[in-house]
Amino acid sequence: MLITGSCSGQTNSKQTSNSNKMMQNDMPWYEQDKLDVEKFLENAEERVHVNMEPVTTFYFFRKHFPDGREIQILSTGSGFSKREVPPLPHFYKINTVFYKNGNMERKGKQICSGTDIGEWEYYDENDNKTAEINRDEKYPDFDYNKVLMFYKMKG
């Protein structure tokens, strides 16, 4: 379900600790940048993909908020992914991919078509930031904000 861009941008390697991902007691588990795997599994629904060979079981959690925001978290074979859809008028979603240990692997924004935009952060399994990539630098003539203004003008 998670669509990630396969294009690579300019990489700035960094070997810094990811202190902003520490478990924060004042935030619910599903909004944190480090996934509490036990709480996810306690709250997730078990689902089955019958159209896959072999039949695959996965776990899924969804939370709707009064302001229109939504968070979805699901298990994958290699880890977990979280998609946060901000309330309107935002046009993007925030995608976060986690390793099996709950540490963040990567995080960034995508427009609805699945194209990566803006800054993306990458981490190793030990929670060290390994790279930051500006996905917008690859497309200097493309400005998604201009496309959005065009759509708005056309209704």
> pTM value?
0.74
- Per-10-residue mean pLDDT of the chain, 155 residues long, equals 36 41 72 92 84 77 94 87 89 92 95 84 96 86 73 78
Q: How far apart, in whole angstroms, are the C-alpha atoms of residue 50 and residue 55?
A: 5
Q: How far apart, in whole angstroms, are the C-alpha atoms of residue 112 and residue 99?
A: 24
Nearest to 2 by CA among 103, 116, 91, 125: 116
Domain ranges for the chain, please list them.
16-154
